[in-house]
Structure 1
Amino acid sequence: MKYEQDKLNYKFSWFDWFCLWYPPGWLILFNRHWQRYHADPDGWNCLEYILFLIPGGFYLALLIRWLRLGCRFPRQGNEEFNPNYQQAFRQEILAPIAKYYFRGELKQGENLPEKAPLIVAINHAGMSFPWDFLVLAYLLGETRNWTVQPLAGVSLFEHPWMIWWLPPGWSKVLGGVRAELDDFAEAVSQEIILLYAPEGIRGPGKGWFYRYQLETFHPSFISLSDRYQIPISPVVCLGSEFLHPWAINIRKVGKIFGLPFLPISFLMPVFLLFPSMGVWAMKTQLCYYVQPVCLPNNPTDSNHTNAYRRAQELKENMQKQIRELNNI
């Protein structure tokens, strides 16, 4: 859709500021912003928003919305990535969260290349909504005026909980690329800034007792870097382990519900009372340290064994930086 100039400024009301500082309200912020720019007759309404803020009220709001929609799921649209909406969301919603809540900092920015294409590889943790990704995307956009597209788990696009929480197509419109090999390869071939976690879902799913320990890096990003001659910019993130502290992953139960991970922690009773807090995370400072760029090899020299070895070498280099920065 085309954005009219007079609609490019979402004004924070007192209610929005309240939602920003009251954890169950973050989901309201996301949906209200979407509805400012998109017609969404199936979306949440004012009464349902109010119920989000009351213990147990989300369940009543969900029932009311389901009945209002004629006992069906929200309709799926044919949404496509919209850089204009990404910019509006970045400036109007992400900015106050990244600056004042997560206090995001990008360090050693001189190591960033000047232009696309680029694969930004980051360690991923937190067992929560991917705030380490979103804050880095915001900082890269502010630093280089880049349009950044993150590679996101499939559950962010199609899990039933996400379809009820957020507008259908929300992740795709904001630039999310499905974490599937064909989608990954297509995105890289389009010469974009792609934000990627080589650990995959194993990173945020490892839990508190394995914090700061990187999981095996999948070699696909090395192979695609070589094939399309795209440099890799490794970024070490500190602070993401505290997005959901003291959490452990109940993997077997999570699989029953089709979840990428199922965290259990002291916060879970609160989440059960306020399910809208699923997009919230604990307050922590997210610091990003940009490492020197890794240049691609000649495509003729690329093979799976070589790609796997180089991926694990990069993992060890990033692991070393994490230990040094944390004085472990």
Structure 2
Amino acid sequence: MTNQSSENLLNLPLEIATDNGYKFSWFDWFCLWYPPGWLILFNRHWQHYHQDPEGWNWLEYILFLLPGGFYLALLIRWLRLGCRAPKQNIDEFNPEYQKAFSKEVLAPIVKYYFQGELKQLEHLPQTGPLIVAMNHAGMSFPWDFLTLAELLSQERGWTVQPLAGISLFEHPWMVWWLPAGWSNVLGGVRAEFKAFETAIQQRKILLYAPEGLRGPLKGWRRRYQLQKFDVSFMQLSDRYQVPILPVLCVGNEYLHPLTINWQKLQRLFKLPFLPLSPLMLLLILFPSMGVWAMKTRLRYFIQPLEPLATTDKFANSHTKRTNVYQQAQKLREKLQIQINQLLNHQSS
């Protein structure tokens, strides 16, 4: 199938497109169970549906699988592009590609690798819009978010869009790892207040980490200890009357266990976090493992919808912000109690 005909699949109804779409081959199964191959999965799927002459090629893919081979592949690609970085395209969200990626790549990973499972489905609403607030951790590629988005899509047929750190959109390393515009096309919403508010106004179903980067930054020593919540989700929930659905994930702390954050190098490379653990020795040999995570069972416990936040419309801005901050921290304390109970029940 040519790149042009593959790209045209996205203009067809999904049931037709996926019948003739990307097939998970023996090589993809190999990549799933061989950690340096995960980056190949993402790029191969993208190239099936998009013309991408500047993307990785087969020689470079094979080099990913060899110790230190990624560095040679990077050099070859850099020379192939005329000694420059790949062009950064600004592409819009494509729900059809998100559905194809979810069905053809995410679904096997979620089912066979992370064994993702939704619990307490009686609390899951039938329709949106929603702010799905989840404890985010693991100090790795955001697999706890992607898995939850896939499970919600399977259960309700929803189009779910996660708020994603700015580095996933514009960090110079990302354009080498992942296709240009990948995060935008898959529905990522920049973790900035203006972008968040715009998505809320459009009545979308959004995945949100109230801890922000404080969640993964806390490291292994403080696993499952919820950090201070940001207040933006409470403010926007109140302003636009969009319900908050809390979800507690158990297992995501084991996506990259035994980690501490290497702050000096993190700041030097302008990364959201830089985990130091025994796994980092493998990452040095196989940089394509940067999108990989340890095999763990991800279980999501859906909580009852939170009552809509209320603020006194006659109060001054400082008082309003104080009230919303207090509501956010009360929610954090309530969810921390629930997490502790889940962990105690698991260990008993």
Q: How many residues align?
A: 328
Alignment of structure 1 residues 43-82 onto 2, 5 Å:
43-82=55-94
C-alpha distance in structure 2 between counterparts of 1:264 and 1:16, whole Å: 29
1:319 pairs, out of 318, 330, 336, with: 336
SS of residue paired to 2:300: strand
- Asked if residue 305 in structure 1 is aligned to residue 322 in structure 2, the reply is yes
C-alpha distance in structure 2 between counterparts of 1:300 and 1:178, whole Å: 29
For 1:292, the equivalent position in structure 2 comes to 304
Give the alignment's TM-score, normalised by structure 1: 0.97
C-alpha distance in structure 2 between counterparts of 1:59 and 1:250, whole Å: 23
1:87 pairs, out of 86, 94, 99, with: 99
What is the root-mean-square deviation of aligned Cα atoms in Å?
Answer: 1.3
SS of residue paired to 1:326: helix
C-alpha distance in structure 2 between counterparts of 1:176 and 1:183, whole Å: 10
For 1:142, the equivalent position in structure 2 comes to 154
SS of residue paired to 1:236: strand
C-alpha distance in structure 1 between counterparts of 2:304 and 2:181, whole Å: 35
1:283 aligned partner, one-letter code? K
- Asked if residue 155 in structure 1 is aligned to residue 167 in structure 2, the reply is yes
Alignment of structure 1 residues 117-136 onto 2, 5 Å:
117-136=129-148
- Asked if residue 180 in structure 1 is aligned to residue 192 in structure 2, the reply is yes
Given that 2:163 and 2:190 are in contact with CA atoms closer than 8 Å, whether structure 1 keeps it comes out as: yes
- What are the ranges of 5 or more consecutive residues in structure 2 without an aligned counterpart? 1-6
C-alpha distance in structure 1 between counterparts of 2:309 and 2:217, whole Å: 31
Give the alignment's TM-score, normalised by structure 2: 0.92
1:231 pairs, out of 243, 267, 270, with: 243
Which whole-Å deviations, capped at 9, do the CAs of 1:131-176 have from their partners, x for residues lacking one? 0000000000001100000000000111111110000110010000
2:36 pairs, out of 21, 24, 31, with: 24
Given that 2:309 and 2:324 are in contact with CA atoms closer than 8 Å, whether structure 1 keeps it comes out as: no
The runs of at least 4 aligned residues of structure 1 exceeding 6 Å deviation read: none
For 1:264, the equivalent position in structure 2 comes to 276
2:262 pairs, out of 229, 242, 250, with: 250
Q: Which moved more, 1:296-305 or 1:117-126?
A: 296-305
SS of residue paired to 2:304: coil
Q: Which moved more, 1:135-144 or 1:105-114?
A: 105-114
C-alpha distance in structure 1 between counterparts of 2:128 and 2:83, whole Å: 46
The share of aligned pairs that are identical, in percent, is: 66
Given that 2:309 and 2:327 are in contact with CA atoms closer than 8 Å, whether structure 1 keeps it comes out as: no
